[in-house]
A and B are shown apart, each in its own frame.
Chain A
Amino acid sequence: MEKVKVGIIGSGNIGSDLMVKLTKSDVLELTAMMGIDASSRGMQHARHLGLQVFDNGVEGLLDQPDLVDIIFDATSAGAHIHNAKVAKQLGKRILDLTPAAIGPFIVPPVNLGEHLDADNVNLITCGGQATIPIIHAVNQVAEVEYGEIVATIASKSAGPGTRANIDEFTETTAKGIELVGGAKKGKAIIILNPAEPPIMMRDTVHAIVAEDKMDEEKIVNSINEMVEKVQAYVPGYTLRTEPIFDGNKVTVFLEIEGAGHYLPKYAGNLDIMTSAAVKVAEEFAKNREKPAVKQA
């Protein structure tokens, strides 16, 4: 099969990590990096890889629209609004890794097959990618009345985009817990920890299930199955302990060790996000025969 051409907007932590992952894909061919800071580490690396490099962001694509079929947006929620417009104008599919949440949400082990014809899909947040599978796993066997997650990441793994978008992180993640996880109500908290050496990404998931639906064995089995599914594309995704039960509450502690592609292994938050995005793009590529977007 001919590879599908893809490009990245944004040369920060997420864009750079994507760059490493995409060069390993059998289905996707990375052709372009669209950044704004020509001297950044990410842009230098893109040149080194021989990619077409634009330092005027998505605008670069206007002159060479055939360079890519799918665009990954690794900028910020604010910038995505503009990038999404340009992508639409060019008739390109865009995978949104910012918390802008314009398009429908995708968490691969939960709803990869959905939205295959959408022209803009959103990957929620790193915390959402890590925890929504667990909320969904619990909800499949015991209705989740309330799902709450706490994502703790190393300060060093949170770039300026993440820091400027911290409200969008909590709000978009909470929405994802409800829309994709299935919880009636969702809440998300994010904490940055500056300890040295940097801590691994950790997530805690609390779920309150309907009073008469608590079945510890079923819940544990469902969670374990889900963990295996996530591990298939994020090998460093693990349960730190067995789920802890307290009345109708279940608490799950997760740790996500990154692949160490762009940032060291502590930055599991990058991996879970970029791995999910690559998985979605590959799925899109496989379903390419059904053209998603009509040329504008």
Chain B
Amino acid sequence: MANETGIKITEVALRDGSHAISHQYTVDQVTSVAKVLNEARVPYIEVTHGDGLGGSSLQYGLSKTDELKLIEAAVSVTDFSKIAVLLLPGIGTIHDLKKAADLGAKMARIATHVTEADVSKQHIETAKELGLETVGFLMMSHMAPVDKLVEQAKLMESYGADTVYVVDSAGALLPHEVKERIKALRQELKVNIGFHGHNNLSLAMGNTLAAIEEGATRIDGSIRCLGAGAGNTQTEVLVAVLEKMGIPTGVDTYKMMDIAEDIIAPILPKPQEINRDSLTLGYAGVYSSFLLHSKRASEKFSVDSRDILVELGKREIVGGQEDMITDVAAELSKTAVTPAK
């Protein structure tokens, strides 16, 4: 498996993109998107709340539609693409995973903070027992040195993961940092290596190519950049670039362009771009899903959202700590009584 040729793409717009639309996906949207991605022969399509199974909450945002209904809808219109689900131990449980598997999900992606892989043992093992292809997803990979990343990736491999991903949740990694991480994993692990980027520093494509150059074979993209923050590596662009490079993905480039233009663009509340806030996510090294939450906190407490994000970065806040946004904003609003110079 470690020697697979070509690149296998996972489309994450129906999961990571959930953040960008405040978890408001409907069954109709998911059905129509999954159907055409299947026709474009995308190998994997991830469908869940942005924070994975069980993510619907006051902390992260309540789902408009029960994610199990969305998974079921996606499964019903895909005969080629496999449906993947994300699970963050501490948020979702094995119980949720079993329900998703019963509905026809074929891949489980078990995500932990880059230093906390050992909480994923029971979930990775269960996913394998359920017969799911299983991915270990090391989030916020920029926050740990390379040797720590390797140690944690090996844990996931030892639990049975078929693939381990370097996940640049904050879109903070620079190309040479991606290279050294993928290279080290390629040397130390037998399983597939994957890369998940965010475009907050306009480096998603560059980082993805750097990862592929070092041996990553599993790549995430979000069509039309429909992902958290400034979005992920733009899938239709990636497919076109890889085609020009002579690297097979099996995905239909023209169809992906059409889906992006005709089906995804209308879903986006506004076009994805790198603005002040998403740039700050990458700059400060903060989890990309914090974007809309910090914007709301900035309005509620009259604090510059960049100050909130930079402070969160300084405090080494990890993914899932959305409650800290309000907390920090409330704190900054009190300390900001003296007029800034």
B119 at the interface (CB under 8 A from A): yes
Within 8 A of B (CB), among A233-253: 240-241, 244, 249, 251, 253
A95 at the interface (CB under 8 A from B): no
| Bound-state Cα–Cα, A253 to B328, Å | 11
Return the contact of A191 from the options B121, B321, B326 (Cβ within 8 A).
B321
Q: Specify the chain B residue showing the minimal Cβ separation from A206.
A: B58
Which residues of chain B come closer than 8 Å to A240, judged between CB atoms? Answer: 327
Interface size class of B (residues with CB under 8 A): 20 to 34
Between A191, A249, A253, the greatest number of chain B beta carbons within 10 A of the residue's beta carbon is seen for A191
B59 at the interface (CB under 8 A from A): yes
Within 8 A of B (CB), among A23-52: none
- CB pair A167–B94 under 8 Å, yes or no, is yes
- CB pair B57–A244 under 8 Å, yes or no, is no
- CB pair A194–B115 under 8 Å, yes or no, is yes
Which residues of chain A come closer than 8 Å to B121, judged between CB atoms? Answer: 164
B317 at the interface (CB under 8 A from A): yes
- CB pair B59–A192 under 8 Å, yes or no, is no
Between A160, A187, A192, the greatest number of chain B beta carbons within 10 A of the residue's beta carbon is seen for A192
| Bound-state Cα–Cα, A166 to B315, Å | 24
Between B113, B327, B331, the greatest number of chain A beta carbons within 10 A of the residue's beta carbon is seen for B327
- CB pair B113–A208 under 8 Å, yes or no, is no
- CB pair A148–B57 under 8 Å, yes or no, is yes
Given A167-B93, A241-B330, A251-B326, the answer on whether A148 and B58 have CB atoms closer than 8 Å is yes
- CB pair B321–A166 under 8 Å, yes or no, is no
- CB pair B316–A150 under 8 Å, yes or no, is no
The minimal Cβ–Cβ distance linking B316 to chain A, given in whole angstroms, is: 4
Return the contact of B116 from the options A164, A171, A192, A206 (Cβ within 8 A).
A192
| Bound-state Cα–Cα, A164 to B118, Å | 8
B320 at the interface (CB under 8 A from A): yes
Q: Specify the chain A residue showing the minimal Cβ separation from B144.
A: A194
Return the contact of B318 from the options A163, A167, A191, A196 (Cβ within 8 A).
A191
- CB pair A192–B113 under 8 Å, yes or no, is yes
B76 at the interface (CB under 8 A from A): no
| Bound-state Cα–Cα, A19 to B127, Å | 38
- CB pair B115–A167 under 8 Å, yes or no, is no
Proximity bits, A158-169, B CB within 8 Å = 1, else 0: 001001101101
- CB pair A208–B119 under 8 Å, yes or no, is no
Which residues of chain A come closer than 8 Å to B95, judged between CB atoms? Answer: 167, 171
Proximity bits, B320-335, A CB within 8 Å = 1, else 0: 1101001100110000
- CB pair A148–B59 under 8 Å, yes or no, is yes
| Bound-state Cα–Cα, A192 to B316, Å | 12
The minimal Cβ–Cβ distance linking B120 to chain A, given in whole angstroms, is: 9
A170 at the interface (CB under 8 A from B): yes
A189 at the interface (CB under 8 A from B): yes
| Bound-state Cα–Cα, A160 to B122, Å | 12
Which residues of chain A come closer than 8 Å to B315, judged between CB atoms? Answer: 195
| Bound-state Cα–Cα, A192 to B93, Å | 16
Given A193-B317, A204-B323, A251-B326, the answer on whether A166 and B89 have CB atoms closer than 8 Å is yes
Between A171, A194, A208, A253, the greatest number of chain B beta carbons within 10 A of the residue's beta carbon is seen for A194
Q: Specify the chain B residue showing the minimal Cβ separation from A204.
A: B323
The minimal Cβ–Cβ distance linking A225 to chain B, given in whole angstroms, is: 23
Listed by A's residue number, 30 A-B pairs whose Cβ atoms lie within 8 Å are A148-B59, A150-B320, A152-B323, A155-B116, A160-B118, A163-B116, A166-B119, A167-B89, A167-B93, A167-B94, A167-B122, A170-B90, A171-B93, A191-B318, A192-B113, A192-B119, A192-B318, A193-B113, A193-B318, A194-B316, A194-B318, A195-B315, A195-B317, A204-B59, A204-B323, A206-B59, A240-B327, A244-B326, A249-B58, A253-B327
Known: A204-B59, A241-B330, A241-B331. 15 other contacts (CB 8 A): A166-B90, A167-B122, A169-B90, A187-B57, A189-B57, A189-B90, A189-B91, A191-B90, A191-B320, A192-B119, A193-B318, A194-B116, A195-B318, A251-B58, A251-B323
Q: What is the interface of chain A, defined by CB distance below 8 A to chain B? A: 146, 148, 150, 152, 155, 160, 163-164, 166-167, 169-171, 187, 189-196, 202, 204, 206, 208, 240-241, 244, 249, 251, 253
